[in-house]
Amino acid sequence: MFDTDVLVVGAGPVGLTAAAELRRRGVECRVVDRLAAPQLYAKAVGVQPRTLEIWDAMGLARQALDGALLLRGQLVFVDGRQVSRLELELELAPDVPYRFAALPQYATERLLADCLVSHGGGVERGRELVSLDQDADGVRAVIRSPEGVETVRCRYLVGCDGAHSVVRRALGLSFEGGAFDEQYMLGDVELDWDMPPGYAVRATRRDPVGGPDDILVCIPLPGHGRYRMSMLVPPELGVAEHGGAGGTGVRHGLDSANAPELHQLQAVLDRLAPRPATASALRWSSAFRISHRLVDRYRVGRVFVAGDAAHIHPPTGAQGMNTGIQDAYNLAWKLALVLHLVADESLLDSYHAERHPVGEEVVGRTVRHARAGIEADPGSVRTLLRREAQLLVGYPDSPLSEPPGEVPAAGPAPGERAPDCGGLLRDLAGYRMRLFDLLRGPRHTLLLYGGADARPAVLDDCAAEAVAAAHGLLDVYAVLAPGARLDGLRMPVVHDADGAFRAGYGARDGEAFLVRPDGYLGARLLPADGGGPAEHLRRTFTGPEPDDRVS
Together in a domain, 187 and 169: no
- Residues 475-488: tens digit of each pLDDT: 999 999 998 888 88
Radius of gyration from C-alpha coordinates of the chain: 24
Mean pLDDT for 77-83 is 94
How remote is the C-alpha of 199 from its chain's centroid? 23
pLDDT of residue 253: 52
Same domain for 513 and 376: no
Q: Residue range 308-317: average pLDDT?
A: 92
pLDDT tens for each residue of 178-187: 988 888 999 9
Cα angle: 53, vertex 308, 19; to 5 degrees:
55
Asked if 301 and 159 touch (Cβ cutoff 8 Å), the reply is no
Which of the four pLDDT bands, split at 50, 70 and 90, describes residue 242?
very low
Whether 319 is covered by a domain: the verdict is: yes
User: pLDDT tens across 139-166, in order?
Assistant: 999 999 999 999 999 999 999 999 999 9
Confidence grade of residue 49 (pLDDT, cut at 50, 70, 90)? very high
Q: Is residue 284 part of a domain?
A: yes
How high is the pLDDT of residue 409?
Answer: 76
Q: How many CA atoms lie within 13 A of 48 on its CB side?
A: 23
- In this predicted model, what pLDDT tens digit does every residue of 327-347 receive, in sequence order? 999 999 999 999 999 999 999
How does DSSP classify residue 520?
Answer: B
Q: How confident is the model at residue 543 (pLDDT cuts 50, 70, 90)?
A: low
Mean pLDDT across the chain, nearest whole number? 91
- Same domain, residue pair 195 and 283: yes
Residue-wise pLDDT for 428-482, tens only, equals: 999 999 999 999 989 999 999 998 888 888 899 999 999 999 999 999 999 999 9
Distance between CA atoms of residues 65 and 223, nearest Å: 14
In a domain, 48, yes or no: no
Model confidence at 546: pLDDT above 60: no
CA distance 542 to 260: 56
Domain assignment of residue 264, given as a range = 181-289
Q: From residue 215, how far is each of 203, 204, 319, 433 by CA, in Å?
A: 6, 4, 20, 45
Tell me the per-residue pLDDT of 384-407, one tens digit each, with 9 for 90 and over.
Answer: 899 999 999 999 999 999 987 666
Q: Say if residue 339 is in the same domain as residue 355.
A: yes
120 contacts: CB under 8 Å, gap ≥ 6: 23
pLDDT at 213: 83
Say if residue 283 is in the same domain as residue 209: yes
Residue 249 has a pLDDT of: 47
> What phi and psi values does residue 361 have, to the nearest 5 degrees?
-65, -40
**What pLDDT is stored for residue 76 in this prediction?**
93
Over range 112-138, report the average pLDDT.
97
Q: Which of 388, 415, 434 is the last residue of a domain?
A: 388
Which of 388, 411, 446 is a domain's end point?
Answer: 388
Same structural domain, 125 and 17: yes
209 contact partners, CB below 8 Å, separation of at least 6: none
* Between 548 and 446, the higher pLDDT residue: 446
Question: Closest Cα to residue 76, out of 375, 443, 318?
Answer: 375
CATH code where residue 471 lies:
3.40.30.10
Q: Give the largest CA-CA distance in the chain.
A: 77
Total H helices, total E strands in the chain: 12, 28
> 301-323: string of b/e by CB count within 10 Å (b at 16+)?
ebbbbbbbbbbbbbbbbbbbbbb
Within a domain: 549: no
**Is residue 132 domain-shared with residue 241, that is, in the same domain?**
no
Residue 16: CATH number of its domain: 3.50.50.60
**Residue 143: enclosing H or E segment and its boundaries?**
strand 139-145
The confidence band for 209, taking pLDDT boundaries of 50, 70 and 90, is: confident
Distance CA 350, CA 174 (A): 20
Task: Report the CATH number that the domain containing residue 244 is assigned in CATH.
Answer: 3.30.70.2450
Whether residue 319 is predicted with pLDDT greater than 70 in this model: the reply is yes
Q: How many domains does the chain have?
A: 3
For residues 449 and 181, give the distance between their C-alpha atoms in angstroms, rounded to a whole number.
Answer: 55
Q: Is 59 within the bounds of a domain?
A: yes
Which region holds residue 341: left if phi is over 0, alpha if psi is between -120 and 50, else beta? left
